[in-house]
Structure 1
Amino acid sequence: MMDEDNYRNNGRAGDDPQAAFEQLRGEVALVRLAVEGLARARESIEIPDYQPTLANTEKILLALTQRVDVIAKSPAMKLTPETMGERVNASVASATGELHNLVNSTRSDMSEAARELRGLIGTTRARWQQDRWLFWIGLGGVVLGILLYALLAGLIARAMPDSWQLPERMATRALAEPTLWDAGTHLMQRASPASWEGIVAAANLARDNRETIEACGAAAAKAKKTVRCTIEVKPANNDR
């Protein structure tokens, strides 16, 4: 403040060079003080930072611009009553065409299914007839095989060696008898019951008089001639 007062007092110095120099120095000091005061005042003022706000505002404006562009380019913004009518007519025509194609496709599928069903019925009928023919052919083959076996089995069995006893074994198996002897007795009983009874009676007579018959046979062999023997005969009801 003293420099400012000196400057004001020296303003009246007149034409004195020293006074003028002092006045100039006072003015320079005054300017320096003013500049320092402005610097201190600027440092004390807090200036807000608007950079984040400006960045957010820019982002919002960019998003709004993009949405407006999308809406402007949307086909709905270009629709008019005429174009909407044309699109409705085109949609109806397309739906009608698809329905017509669907009906034709369904009709074709039904026709194809009917043909397949007729073919299946025909195939089933032909297969049934074929199975019936196969059954009769198989049955005829079985009958023919039995006849051929009946005609040729005996010839083949008799052609085999006698030691094999193939005919006798076949007869035993056919009569369901356990042994050849049982099969023979079975055949004799069926062939002639009376003769079979005579054979049984003779067998029983020989069994009951076995010792007498053996002694008589020995005597005949010793005498070398026929001899008489006495045997016992049991009643017919006690022959077994």
Structure 2
Amino acid sequence: MSRKLPLLIAIVVILTGSVYYYFTFRRGSARTIQTFAYLRDPASRPELRMNAYTQCGTAPFIFPTDGLVGFIWDDSFRPGHRHQGIDIFAGTDVGVTPVIAAYPGYLTRQPDWKSTIIMRVPDDPLQAGRQIWVYYTHMADAQGNSFISQQFPAGTSEIYVEAGTFLGYQGNYSGDPNNPVGVHLHVSVLKDNGFGKFTNELEIENTYDPSPYFGLPLNARENTDTIPVCN
């Protein structure tokens, strides 16, 4: 029996890894195929595009830019990764497609932020009395030349803006000039830390499922393969 134990352990590890891989990476695979087909030819699938200012049903947020929602909340691109928000791909060059505020709030851009702004929403429209933060990023080119509106220079703090306010343009800044991302806008809804500050956006546990805010199926565990659009 002692000789068989290592083999049994190895089998269990392989099976566990296979199950994890299957249930993690099968989510979004069909959506990813559609996204890359769209990026190769953005004019080919106009029915999958969303337009800025669109409000889906009675959802509180308006759509913040033009494009296709290629990746959604809790999609996974590699082992251990869980996507914290949504990625909207315009299918254009950098600095072309405008980005607007999805909901009113108080805008901050920290001094070292080249492509990112965050907006504090004191009263969550889905839960009165709860403060949330709406995070927008990738608004710069690959070298970090910012496309954020000149109204919000680096160091801006707590400037009130209305929904629909122009924030900047979609870009492809990743923080590494040698490894730009595809041109898109990333948006996530962050939790407050309980002391009036936003939490670390890199951890999905610090974000909310954006589906009810936008009125779209933006949760990858519930929407495993379709591109979200308004009904």
TM-score (norm. length: structure 1): 0.16
Q: Which has the higher contact order (CA 8 A, sep 6+)?
A: 2
> Whose radius of gyration is greater, 1 or 2?
1
Looking at secondary structure, tell me which structure has more helix per residue: 1
Looking at secondary structure, tell me which structure has more strand per residue: 2
TM-score (norm. length: structure 2): 0.16
